[in-house]
Amino acid sequence: MDLRLVIVSGLSGSGKTNALKCFEDLGFFCVDNLPPPLLPVFVDLCLKSSTGIKKVAVGIDIRERDFLRDFLSVSERMKKNGHPYELIFFDAKDEVLIRRFSETRRPHPLAKNRPILEGIRQEREQLAELQRRSDRTIDTSTFTIQQLKDVIVQYYIDQGENRKPGISIISFGYKYGIPYEIDLLFDVRFLQNPNFVPELKPLSGEDPAIQGHVFRKPEADQFIEHVKSFLAFLIPFYEKEGRPYLTIAIGCTGGRHRSVAIARRLYDDLKAARYEAVLRHRDIHREH
């Protein structure tokens, strides 16, 4: 029996516990804080289970002493023994992690008697090799719980043979950095910027006035049509390779006007074409 094994790891405070809850909602059998040396034993038990366990998500992190050394050794042995797995690494910006620890009043596991930032930096350094080996890094800095669940659903929900890949669309501002978890990136800074129109500046790309401004020139509609044509060419190859998801980022300067309007129109068109799609505006609520 095939077993789909997802290993959840990453920085403390990056959302691993919430991610495991999302996996549980998707029908995965979940175990948190499993010592790495027990991982092969656990996998064998799942394979021999009479209850038909087919999907498993395991949380492994810095709380276990010597976990990184043990995990790297165990993981290599598992692959040689025919037990493939997917490693997903959760990350977040330092300032976000500090805020989360402050809000929950929890000590960082590596800095119980030191400033939180020292623990975060030490953990980031220790986990650099693990992140390098991961199959996917998800930065949760701007995620709500629902947005985290949407991303996991897009990546890990069971796909029927004839089901189109799920598509995540992210609008963002280049001034705040490019999102980590993307497959395709489109820059829409060639469009006229509503930020320089005083009455439009306070609005967002979800407002009809901004959408009207962005799409009043034909190049905006032409861009959407070119992207849809490109996706129509690309997606069959994703299906052929068994890729269940595709993450598209749409960027403008601040992530509030043009990228939001374009991402919204693309999302609406893809939903109308019966794609499984989710939309997230990463920087729409930032102060500009």
Whether residue 244 is predicted with pLDDT greater than 70 in this model: the reply is no
**Same domain assignment for residues 212 and 238:** yes
Tokens matching residue 180? 């980590």
User: 121 in a domain, yes or no?
Assistant: yes
The strand pair at 245-252 and 184-187 is best described as parallel
What is the domain-level CATH number for residue 50?
Answer: 3.40.50.300
Whether residue 69 is found in the same domain as residue 118:
yes
**Residue 161, domain member (yes or no):** no
The pLDDT of residue 160: 44
User: Mean pLDDT of all residues in the chain?
Assistant: 87
The pLDDT of 4-14, averaged and rounded, is 92
At residue 153, the pLDDT reads 79
Domain membership flag for residue 288: no
Flag whether 108 is in a domain: yes
Per-residue confidence (pLDDT) for residue 12, from 0 to 100: 92
On whether both 16 and 128 belong to a single domain, the answer is: yes
Residue 173: beta bridge partners? 252
Q: Decide if pLDDT at 161 tops 70.
A: no
Q: Is 286 a domain residue?
A: no
For residue 185, what pLDDT band results from cuts at 50, 70 and 90? very high
Pair 110, 9 in one domain: yes
Do 14 and 152 share a domain, yes or no?
yes
- Asked if 14 and 144 sit in the same domain, the reply is yes
Of 124 and 73, the structure prediction assigns the larger pLDDT to 124
Could you tell me if residue 287 is inside a domain?
A: no
CA 163 to chain centre: 21
Residue 241 has pLDDT above 80, yes or no: no
User: DSSP letter string over 214-272?
Assistant: HTTSHHHHHHHHHHHHHHHHHHHHHHHTT--EEEEEEEESSSSSHHHHHHHHHHHHHHH
Q: Are residues 228 and 118 in the same domain?
A: no
* pLDDT at residue 263 in the model: 97
Rounded mean pLDDT, 53-70:
80
Domain match, 199 and 249 both = yes
Residue 222, domain extent: 166-281
* pLDDT tens sequence across 10-49: 999 999 999 998 898 788 899 998 888 888 888 888 888 7
pLDDT of residue 94 exceeding 80: yes
Domain identity same for 137 and 183: no
Does pLDDT of 287 surpass 80? no
Domain final position from 108, 128, 156: 156
Query: Where a domain ends, among 156, 185, 220?
Result: 156
pTM: 0.60
Question: What value does the mean pLDDT take over residues 66-77?
Answer: 80
> pLDDT exceeding 70 applies to what percent of the chain?
94
Same domain, 131 and 273: no
Residue, of 80 and 188, whose pLDDT is higher: 188
- Whether residue 152 is found in the same domain as residue 11: yes
188 and 141 fall within a common domain = no
